[in-house]
Amino acid sequence: MQRPGEKCGLVHATNDTFNLCVLCASASLHNMLTSNTLRHVKTIGVAILCCLAAGCDQTAKLASLADDAVILAFGDSLTAGTGTNKKQAYPAQLQGLISRTVINAGIPGEVSHSGLRRLPALLKQHQPDLVIICHGGNDILRRLNLQQTRDNIQAMIDTSRSHGAEVMLVGVPEFGIFLSSAEFYTELARNNRLPIENTVLSDILGVAAYKSDRIHPNAEGYGIMAKRLAQLLKHSDAI
């Protein structure tokens, strides 16, 4: 350890030796910290570049769906295909895109607590490998308690999983000045580690050419929905 009166490698005036040595020590410490910081920055930078090169796909993953897998599309009018015919509803169009059986289990006008009661029988009947849940829109339109809606959809997720099915979620927008998915869908997807298509309905219903009325897509809109869900299945490694 350097003592007052000793030189630290720089030329100092005799009377100011101690003060200047302290400054030299501080400068050395600063240089050392700067060097360490640069090393950390370089390490982080390399990690970011590697992440970007790998795609950094944060989509929750699903088990791969066999060619004979069964998918249950569960929901309300947005699943049933209100605004077009059943052959142009998103489940039928999705089936054509992914070459797996997709069962349309949509009931127009259904609220989430009724859907929750209906789901177990469908799971027992069809024994699906995957359930796509697109529910809660009528709760939103009727201004029901959305905490209860969230709890009902959580129960749908739990019930589906208890029957051995994977789950994928579709967020439904709240209808206001801005079309954006109700916040609880994102929360459910995060908490349950589910793949979610959270913007497709907002995107479709924001374009007049893609909808049959204020709240339902037309055949072209449902086609966009099917394509986006097919993409999500690919990104989640299901197909």
Is the pLDDT at 122 greater than 80? The verdict is yes
Domain ranges of the chain: 14-54, 70-235
Is the pLDDT at 118 greater than 50? The verdict is yes
CA 120 to chain CA mean position, Å:
25
Question: Residue 175 — very low, low, confident or very high, per pLDDT cuts 50/70/90?
Answer: confident
pLDDT digits (tens, 9 = 90+) for 99-117: 999 999 999 999 999 999 9
Is the pLDDT at 160 greater than 60? The verdict is yes
Residues acting as catalytic residues: 77, 213, 216
Q: Average model confidence (pLDDT) for the chain?
A: 83
Following DSSP, what letter does each residue of the chain receive, concatenated? ---TTS--SS---GGGHHHHHHHHHHHHHHHHHHHHHHHHHHHHHHHHHHHHHHT---PPP-PPPPTT-EEEEEESHHHHTTTS-GGGSHHHHHHHHHTSEEEEEE-TT--HHHHHHHHHHHHHHH--SEEEEE--HHHHHTT--HHHHHHHHHHHHHHHHHTT-EEEEE--EE-SSS-EE-HHHHHHHHHHT--EE-SHHHHHHTSGGGBSSSS-B-HHHHHHHHHHHHHHHHHTT--
Is the pLDDT at 4 greater than 70? The verdict is no
Is the pLDDT at 12 greater than 90? The verdict is no
CATH architecture of 70-235: 3-Layer(aba) Sandwich (3.40)
Is the pLDDT at 2 greater than 60? The verdict is no
pLDDT digits (tens, 9 = 90+) for 136-149: 999 999 999 999 99
Is the pLDDT at 89 greater than 70? The verdict is yes
Is the pLDDT at 39 greater than 70? The verdict is no
